[in-house]
Structure 1
Amino acid sequence: MKFRAKINDVGCLNHFTRVVNTITKLTKACVLRLTVNNVYFVLSGKVANGGVSMWCELLQVNFFDEYQLEGVSADSNEICLEVAPENLSRALKTAQNAKFVKIKLTKKHCPCLTLAAELPSLSSVSRVVTHDIPVDVIPRRLWHDFKEPSMPDFDVSIYLPPLKTMKSVVDRMKNLSNYLVVEANLSGEMNLKIETDLVSVTTHFKNLGNPPWADDASQGGGQSRPVEAMAHARVDIRKLQQFLNGQQVNPSKAMCNIVDQRIVHLILLQEDVSLQYFIPAVA
């Protein structure tokens, strides 16, 4: 089992760092799944038990100049590692102006992702900063927990308003309640609502538009609904705030699928990164 990769381009390094920083805001621990063509950050929370789930997918060729992988076996050419993204983020922070960064799976006192960055130097002698990031190798029998989640059979799919605007609204609402109702319909309308014994506050968004797959009969629920009918889910406001606070990906598209009274499924798409985040509804 071997893995090594190298980033030479500063733009690619900064982009990768932003993705890792986003993951760091969302979870303290996740699975780093390495395959021949893709790098994934996976959080497999049990939605049925109230846990959030995350799936972040990167096309490795758009980030790494060199990328070599030998998985656990010829028929399973991938590696799954449990890692604390904050440790990876800290290591990348020291490498921001590096000439190159090498990442390698090593065996020290325990399995590690070793990150070596060659930094600019005033002398002819190069400075290499090395970080050993402890990881746990996940055995193959557990890999089924870290496969791509299927698209939920949603009732409504809608484009999100500007994330900064949404973040500002949610930050203010957090002072009023621990829970927030997210509701939307197939007419491009979305509401964020707080309802307590003392106060009721609603922020309305209109003309957001609905993704084309909202009209796809194969997706089930959305097709048979009246376009004005709202699908809603009541969620833990801290989990939504955590998602909005962490964003450094600058997506070209941001969408929300709602399974009525069950799940809010948030999707951020960029040219070479996609991030899915599942927040379960609470009673």
Structure 2
Amino acid sequence: MKFRGKIVDVACLNHFTRVVTTISKLTKTCVLRLNPDNLFFVLSGKVANGGVSMWCELSQANFFDEYQMEGVSPENNEICLELAPENLSRALKTVQNAKSVKVKLTKKHCPCLTVCAELPTLSSISRVVTHDVPVDVIPKRLWHEFKEPSVPDFDVSIYLPPLKTIKNVVDRMKNLSNFLVIEANMNGEMNLKIETDLVSVTTYFKDLGNPPWGDGASQDGGPTQSRDPDSMAEARVDVRKLQQFLVGQQVNPSKSMCSECICMSSTSVTKVSPKAGGVCPSLHPRYRPSECPPPDSAA
């Protein structure tokens, strides 16, 4: 197995660092999958038991000027590594002004992702900083655990207001209850609710817009066409885990959306699309939306 990548563009380096830092706020360990075209950061939690599942997909061409890798075999041209994203984030943060950054898979005392940066100097002598991030190589027999997660067919999908606005609301609600209800409909309306024996608090959003889902998802009685547009679907989520997701966001998304299904245990799926780079640091829904920009939202 071999992997080597080089980033020269400072904007690409900063963007990649923000993505890794966002992931480090969500989990202590995750899996990095590498193939010739993409990098994937994967957190495979048991959602049914209250866990969080994450799928972050990066096109290597959007970040790396040079990218070379050889998987375990020509038939299985992938590499799977387990790492602590916080360690990688710290290494990248120290080399933000580098002339170039190389990331490669090495074997020292243990397998490592080695981050090697050439820093600018006032003289002709180059200055090189190296960080070794320990990783564990995941054997092929376990790869099936880190595939793109599937989610149930959802009943409602809606564009979210600015994540900073949601964060401010959740920050105030977290002291009232351990759980928060997110409800939305196909008329662009969404509510954040907390209900306890002592207090009931609801924040209303309207005119958010709904994504136009393709691939036949909304055709002939699909998950959106068969519903009353005013009918609310709701999901009950752990308010502190939602806050953790919102606090960690550093990718400056141009749009984000939430999809909900009504089932035995409610599921809420959030998709975040940044302004550039093709990054999605959360679950990919099963269906792909067309790239229409969301309408202006109002709370």
For 1:68, the equivalent position in structure 2 comes to 68
Q: Is 1:112 aligned to 2:112, yes or no?
A: yes
> Going by fraction, where is strand more abundant, 1 or 2?
1
For 1:247, the equivalent position in structure 2 comes to 249
Letter in 2 for 1:132: D
**Offset at residue 150 of structure 1 (A):** 2.6
**Offset at residue 48 of structure 1 (A):** 2.0
Deviations for 1:82-114, whole angstroms, at most 9, x for unmatched residues? 010000000001101000000010001110000
Letter in 2 for 1:16: F
Relative to 1, partners in 2 of residues 1:219 and 1:179: Cα closer, same or farther, differing over 3 Å? farther
Equivalent pair of 1:37/1:59 in contact (CA under 8 Å):
yes
Relative to 1, partners in 2 of residues 1:219 and 1:24: Cα closer, same or farther, differing over 3 Å? farther
SS at match of 1:12: helix
For 1:95, the equivalent position in structure 2 comes to 95
**Offset at residue 151 of structure 1 (A):** 4.4
1-structure distance, mates of 2:164, 2:208: 15
Relative to 1, partners in 2 of residues 1:255 and 1:178: Cα closer, same or farther, differing over 3 Å? same
2-structure distance, mates of 1:51, 1:92: 28
For structure 2, the 5+ residue unaligned runs are 285-299
Deviations for 1:193-213, whole angstroms, at most 9, x for unmatched residues? 011111100000001011001
2-structure distance, mates of 1:158, 1:93: 34
2-structure distance, mates of 1:140, 1:103: 23
**Offset at residue 152 of structure 1 (A):** 2.8
SS at match of 2:244: helix
Deviations for 1:52-83, whole angstroms, at most 9, x for unmatched residues? 10000111001000000000000111101001
Letter in 1 for 2:239: I
Select which of 237, 240, 254 maps to 1:238.
240
| Aligned counterparts, 1:160-171, within 5 A | 160-171=160-171
For 2:24, the equivalent position in structure 1 comes to 24
1-structure distance, mates of 2:73, 2:91: 30
> Going by fraction, where is helix more abundant, 1 or 2?
1
Equivalent pair of 2:23/2:281 in contact (CA under 8 Å):
no
Deviations for 1:227-262, whole angstroms, at most 9, x for unmatched residues? 111100111001111111111111222000001251
SS at match of 1:213: coil
Letter in 2 for 1:222: T
For 2:43, the equivalent position in structure 1 comes to 43
Select which of 217, 220, 231 maps to 2:219.
217
| Aligned counterparts, 1:1-283, within 5 A | 1-213=1-213, 216-217=218-219, 220-260=222-262, 261-270=265-274, 271=276, 272-277=278-283
2-structure distance, mates of 1:219, 1:35: 37
Q: State the TM-score, normalized to the length of structure 1.
A: 0.95
Q: State the TM-score, normalized to the length of structure 2.
A: 0.90
**Offset at residue 123 of structure 1 (A):** 2.4
2-structure distance, mates of 1:31, 1:218: 38
Equivalent pair of 1:52/1:277 in contact (CA under 8 Å):
no
2-structure distance, mates of 1:220, 1:83: 39
Deviations for 1:136-178, whole angstroms, at most 9, x for unmatched residues? 0011111111111234300100000111101100011011111
Letter in 2 for 1:95: V
SS at match of 2:258: strand
2-structure distance, mates of 1:276, 1:257: 12
**Offset at residue 220 of structure 1 (A):** 3.5
2-structure distance, mates of 1:151, 1:277: 9
